Amino acid sequence: MKFSIVTPTFNSERFLRETIQSVLSQQGDFTIEYIFVDNCSQDNTRAIIADFERLIDSGAYPVGCNGVTISYHREKDNSMYEAINRGFAMATGDVHAWINSDDIYLPGAFAIVARSFSRFPEVRWLKGITVYSNDSSTIYEAGRCFLYDREWLKRGVYGRDAYFVQQASVFWRADLWKRAGGIDSRFKKAGDYFLWLKFAEHAPLYSLKAYVACFRKVAGQLSEDALSYRQEYDLIPVTFRHHLLRKIIRAYFYHENKLLFPALKKFFYRMLFNQQQLHVVAITDSNQLEAKTVSYYVEP
The answer to whether position 262 is within a domain reads yes
CA distance 213 to 26: 12
Q: Is the pLDDT of residue 243 over 60?
A: no
Indicate which CATH number applies to the domain containing 117: 3.90.550.10
* Contact assessment for residue 74 and residue 10, using Cβ atoms and an 8 Å cutoff: no
Residue 226 within a domain: yes
- Per-residue pLDDT tens for 92-119? 999 999 999 999 999 999 999 999 999 9
The pLDDT score that the predictor gives to residue 299 is 40
Q: What is the pLDDT of residue 246?
A: 64
Burial of 97-116, coded b for 16+ CB within 10 Å and e otherwise, reads bbbbbbbbbbeebbbbbbbb
pLDDT of the residue at 252: 61
pLDDT at position 262 is 57
Sorting pLDDT into bands at 50, 70 and 90, what band is 193? very high
Q: Is 20 domain-assigned?
A: yes
Residue 98 lies in a domain: yes
For the ranges 64-73, 119-128, 220-229, the lowest mean pLDDT is seen at: 220-229
pTM, rounded to two decimals: 0.88
Which whole number is the average pLDDT over 133-140?
87
Cα four-point dihedral sign 44, 46, 22, 52: negative
Number of folded domains that form the chain: 1
Burial class (CB in 10 A: 0-12, 13-18, 19+), 9: buried
Chain-wide mean pLDDT for the chain?
87
Q: Is residue 194 part of a domain?
A: yes
Reported as a single tens digit per residue, the pLDDT across 261-283 is: 555 656 665 666 666 788 999 88
Tell me, yes or no, whether 299 lies in a domain: no
Residue 300 lies in a domain: no
pLDDT at 186: 83
pLDDT value of residue 157: 84
Identify whether the C-beta of residue 166 lies closer than 8 Å to the C-beta of residue 143: yes
- Enclosing domain of residue 183: 2-294
Does residue 126 belong to any structural domain of this protein? Answer: yes
